């Protein structure tokens, strides 16, 4: 009885340690599974064409004859100009979507009116529309106003970025106590001044989250740009990568090299603002 009593307290601790080891093993496996495609793209981008195919060389992690010719080729084909176009289009889209979403979300969160629930449901429903349905009317509108092959494609990007931005901003505006706005009114601020000088800075985590998610969505958009900007001078990176093929083959070496170059800007943005992203996501998760 004495021996059993001495050993018994170690039982729960041992099970807890086994559970921790199992949990960390699952996390490591999950991370490896998610990172493997990116690692393989990076490895393939340094392989010559002859080593990308074949049973002996295709599965090698380190190339026998590593080369940077794939990067030089895609640079000569104008991938950096496409990156520049994507930066312009995504940046402009982020600026005006954040502004419009902030004002819209402020009105929805602060003003009580009939049909608010129906309006939010409509906004959510619009975000679920397949792009293939709306791309036709958008193309006709751009054709009538002579906006094809231009940076005005940012206006079309609102169909895929604005609904989600409004939803995120509404959640964050609701977390700000209305007493703060009332105090600003007592100090002499108008409704617009209280929005831009008091409420908007307090909702900075939500603004950062909305801006970064909007930027990434605009950066990865493919169908609208392909349809509205057929000329090469206005193509963004998803469309430019899709053109890296011939009539009978796909240029995997060039595609992987272009993918690495394209991922760098978005990865840098996420790493620079990761604290704001996490803060913005978690601050609207709990109702106080």
> What are the DSSP calls for 166-181, one per residue?
HHHHHHHHHHS-HHHH
The predicted model gives 148-168 an average pLDDT of 88
**Does residue 69 surpass a pLDDT of 70?**
yes
Pair 86, 234: CB distance under 8 Å: no
For the cut 90, the answer to whether the pLDDT of residue 54 exceeds it is no
How would residue 15 be classed by pLDDT, with cut points 50, 70 and 90? confident
Beta-bridged to residue 250, according to DSSP, are 245
- Residues 161 and 179: beta-carbon distance below 8 Å: no
What mean pLDDT is predicted for residues 215-227?
Answer: 89
**Share in percent of the chain as helix, strand, coil (round to 5):** 75, 0, 25
Q: What average pLDDT does this structure show over 133-162? A: 89
Handedness of CA 218, 215, 40, 23 (dihedral sign): negative
Helices 252-272 & 10-45, crossing angle to 10 degrees? 130
| In the predicted structure, residue 34 carries a pLDDT above the cut 80 | yes
**pLDDT over threshold 80, residue 195:** no
Q: Is the pLDDT of residue 5 over 60?
A: no
List strand residue ranges (DSSP E) for 52-117, in order. none
Q: Report the pLDDT averaged over residues 38-62.
A: 83
Average pLDDT, the chain: 82
Q: Is the pLDDT confidence value at 10 over 60?
A: no
d(C-alpha 66, C-alpha 94), whole Å:
39
What are the CA-CA distances from residue 203 to residues 91, 112, 200 (Å)? 20, 20, 5
Q: What is the pLDDT of residue 276?
A: 61
% residues pLDDT > 70 (the chain): 90
| Residue showing tokens 């409420």 | 199
pLDDT score, position 92: 93
pLDDT score recorded for residue 21: 86
């Amino acid at each position: 009885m004495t021996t059993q009593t001495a050993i018994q307290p170690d039982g729960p601790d041992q099970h807890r340690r086994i559970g921790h080891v199992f949990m960390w093993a699952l996390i490591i496996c999950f991370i490896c599974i998610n990172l493997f495609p990116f690692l393989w793209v990076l490895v393939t981008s340094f392989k010559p064409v002859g080593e990308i195919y074949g049973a002996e060389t295709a599965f090698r992690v380190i190339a026998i004859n590593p080369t940077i010719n794939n990067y030089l080729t895609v640079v000569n084909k104008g991938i950096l100009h496409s990156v520049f176009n994507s930066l312009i289009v995504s940046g402009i889209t982020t600026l005006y979507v954040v502004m419009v979403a902030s004002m819209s979300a402020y009105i929805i969160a602060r003003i009580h009116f009939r049909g608010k629930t129906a309006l939010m449901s409509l906004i959510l429903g619009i975000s679920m529309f397949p792009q293939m349905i709306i791309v036709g009317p958008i193309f006709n509108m751009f054709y009538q106003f002579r906006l094809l092959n231009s940076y005005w494609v940012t206006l079309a990007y609102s169909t895929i970025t604005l609904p989600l931005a409004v939803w995120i901003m509404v959640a964050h505006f609701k977390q700000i106590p209305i007493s703060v706005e009332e105090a600003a009114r007592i100090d002499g601020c108008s409704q617009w001044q209280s929005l831009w000088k008091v409420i908007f800075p307090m909702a900075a985590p939500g603004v950062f989250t909305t801006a970064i998610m909007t930027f990434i969505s605009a950066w990865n958009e493919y169908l609208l740009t392909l349809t509205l900007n057929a000329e090469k001078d206005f193509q963004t990176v998803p469309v430019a990568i899709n053109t890296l093929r011939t009539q009978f083959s796909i240029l995997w070496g060039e595609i992987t090299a272009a993918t690495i170059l394209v991922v760098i800007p978005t990865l840098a943005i996420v790493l620079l603002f990761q604290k704001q992203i996490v803060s913005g996501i978690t601050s609207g998760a709990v109702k106080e």
